[in-house]
A = this chain, B = another copy of it.
């Protein structure tokens, strides 16, 4: 049931994303944007569409917001994979943009995908202008110098720090790096509906942390073939992670607790939020 719905979201997002990019003038840049924005779990888009659905909005009414978060996520991956950042050759099972094209293309593709994300937030399909401008603001706060980019900068700074990060530092870093975008995604539906965001914010906070712990576990236990990206990076780099602090069993127990918290936070929405509950369970069960 959850897997079917996720597959449905993946297919709809893929088609809509490629159509949005096809609207740009033909160029190498456009080809590379389409390449970088394809594939992925589309979990963030799923959170947008499901949080919209429990507020009475259809997939079509919320789709530009779902595409916005996926375009923003794709931009961050393209830039993070660059040689001066994480220096990765593989992403979603394919060569990274700077490997398939070059670094200049990777810079420009990331830049253009970020712009596209904000352009999508302005789409009239999303309804009321006041809600769209709230969406722009939430996306900017989540992805900018107080959110994702801030987390990424802390992560890079940590690599040259004298001592490994404490667990509190890692939680702070994670809150920016992956937490901010997941938080945006889960609240997007409430923003578009002009509704109270508090329950979804609580859900997203627990979910984002569980997601990052699961990523750390995957980095240790996962298969590179299934994940479609390089694994074991953190251990190789001697980096402090949830696993290095809590151990594998401890990290799994903490992630399970957080999923229970996330599920509990959805209580106000009743049975309508069942797929969001499934998403939280999926986050720690996934193999990529």
Contact = CB atoms under 8 A, between A and B. Distances in A.
Interface of A: 21, 24-25, 27-30, 33, 75, 79, 82, 84-85, 102-108, 110-112, 114-116, 118-119, 121-122, 128-130, 132-134, 136-137, 139-141, 143-146, 149-150, 152-154, 156-157
Given A84-B103, A114-B114, A153-B27, A122 B145 contact: no
A282 to B, nearest CB: 29
A128 B129 CA distance: 9
Contacts of A129: 128-130, 132-133
18 contacts: A24-B145, A25-B146, A27-B150, A29-B150, A30-B145, A33-B145, A82-B107, A85-B107, A107-B110, A115-B140, A115-B144, A115-B149, A118-B118, A118-B136, A119-B140, A132-B133, A133-B133, A133-B136
A133 B120 CA distance: 11
A153 B108 contact: yes
Contacts of A106: 84
Contact of A136 (B24, B105, B136, B154): B136
Residue in A104, A132, A143 whose Cβ sees the most chain B Cβ within 10 Å: A104
Nearest to A143: B115
A75 B28 CA distance: 22
Copies of this chain held together in the complex: 2
Contact of A149 (B21, B29, B82, B156): B29
Nearest to A104: B84
A25 B152 CA distance: 13
Given A84-B103, A103-B84, A144-B116, A111 B157 contact: no
A140 B112 contact: no
A29 B153 contact: yes
A116 B104 contact: no
A149 B84 contact: no
Contacts of A150: 24-25, 27, 29, 112
CB-CB nearest 3 A-B residue pairs: A115-B144, A119-B140, A84-B103
A118 B102 CA distance: 27
A118 B133 contact: no
Contact of A122 (B85, B111, B136): B136
A133 B122 contact: yes
A35 to B, nearest CB: 13
Contacts of A84: 102-104, 106-107
A152 B104 CA distance: 10
